[in-house]
Amino acid sequence: MKQIPEFDVARCKKCGICKHFCSAEAIDVHEDGTPYLARPKACTSCALCRDMCPDWAIRLCDLNEAEIEVERVA
Ligand code: SF4
Ligand code: SF4
């Protein structure tokens, strides 16, 4: 099953590294710097955003579960 990132906003320090390293350009940031998965279909589940996050604020989860989170933070 496809997996996409879920962001833990309590851990995130809004550094933008996840967006920077996402070659699929699936991640964007809100005005305050909080990242979100702007283009879920573009995500290739490569896990680079999770691996590069210095604050362990990203986990990959199944698409269905994550869709709920995307709606919640949108
Ligand atoms: S890399 Fe981690 S801490 Fe930095 S903006 Fe992304 S989720 Fe937040
Ligand atoms: S898993 Fe890969 S393609 Fe998907 S948002 Fe993270 S860095 Fe981008």
Domain limits of the chain? 3-73
Question: What is the C-alpha to C-alpha distance for residues 43 and 2, in angstroms, rounded to an integer?
Answer: 9
Atom of ligand 1 nearest to the CA of 56: 2
- Which pTM was predicted? 0.87
Atom of ligand 2 nearest to the CA of 42: 3
Q: Is the CB of 34 under 6 A from ligand 2?
A: no
User: What is the pLDDT, as a whole number, of residue 11?
Assistant: 97
- For the cut 60, the answer to whether the pLDDT of residue 71 exceeds it is no
- For the cut 90, the answer to whether the pLDDT of residue 19 exceeds it is yes
Question: What is the C-alpha to C-alpha distance for residues 68 and 58, in angstroms, rounded to an integer?
Answer: 15
CATH number of 3-73: 3.30.70.20
List the alpha helices (DSSP H) in 1-74.
17-21, 48-52, 63-73
- If one residue of 49, 58, 62 were mutated to test the ligand 2 pocket, choosing by the most ligand atoms within 8 A of its CB, it would be 49
Instruction: Please report where in the chains the tokens 């833990």 appear, as a residue.
Output: 8
E strand or H helix that includes residue 6: strand 3-7
Question: What is the C-alpha to C-alpha distance for residues 72 and 70, in angstroms, rounded to an integer?
Answer: 5
pLDDT grade for 63, boundaries at 50, 70 and 90: confident
